[in-house]
């Protein structure tokens, strides 16, 4: 797979749908190799960790399987 196709595949309809459904303001996702980081802007004191874990799981599951397989094989 070319790097151009991989870059284009990062925002397929499933990822766009996920990102527009996230109602939590001030959240940011960061992908670093095989790690996904989620952090917020610190304005909220009460953080629902189970909800945050669900968001990370949904984020990881949003890209198409061929893209996840490509990156896990590298």
> What are 29-45's pLDDT values in tens digits?
888 877 889 988 888 78
Average pLDDT, the chain: 80
Q: What pLDDT was estimated at residue 46?
A: 86
> What are 50-65's pLDDT values in tens digits?
999 999 999 888 877 7
**How far, in Å, CA of 53 to CA of 12, rounded?**
22
DSSP state of 10: T
For the residues 6-35, what does the mean pLDDT come to?
A: 79
Total structural domains in the chain? 1
Torsion angles phi and psi, residue 68, rounded to 5 = -65, -40
Q: Which residues of 10-43 are buried (b: 16+ CB within 10 A; e: fewer)?
A: eeeeebeebeeeeeeeeeeeeeeeeeeeeeeeee
Picking from 69, 56, 2, 61, the residue whose alpha carbon sits closest to that of residue 29 is 56
**70 or 40, higher pLDDT:** 40
């Amino acid at each position: 797979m070319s790097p151009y196709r991989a870059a284009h595949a990062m925002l397929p309809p499933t990822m766009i749908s996920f990102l527009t459904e996230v109602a939590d303001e001030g959240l940011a996702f960061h992908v670093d190799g095989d790690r996904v980081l989620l952090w917020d802007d610190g304005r909220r004191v009460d953080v629902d960790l189970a909800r945050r874990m669900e968001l990370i799981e949904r984020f990881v599951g949003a890209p198409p399987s061929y893209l996840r397989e490509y990156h896990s094989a590298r």
